[in-house]
Amino acid sequence: MQVKKVLTYLAVAFVVFYLFTRPAEAASAVNGVVDGIARGADQLALFFTRVLT
């Protein structure tokens, strides 16, 4: 369990370091993730719309 904590702290530290050293790239990555989630939700809604009609 201790290894999991250390890895979690290292991951958080890396994200914080990335945010402070390359904020434009970090914002672009977040936008990409949000766009992907929105696209996936739209496709899922389209699927259920077509199944139920």
* Residue 1 pLDDT level (bands cut at 50, 70, 90): confident
pLDDT tens for residues 32-48? 999 999 999 999 999 99
pLDDT tens for residues 9-24? 999 999 899 899 999 9
26 contacts 19 by C-beta, under 8 angstroms: yes
The model's pTM: 0.65
- The single-letter code of the amino acid at 41 is A
Contacts of 25 (CB under 8 A, 6+ apart): 18
Interatomic CA distance for residues 45 and 40, integer angstroms: 9
> How distant, in Å, are the alpha carbons of 29, 47, 53 from that of 19?
11, 36, 45
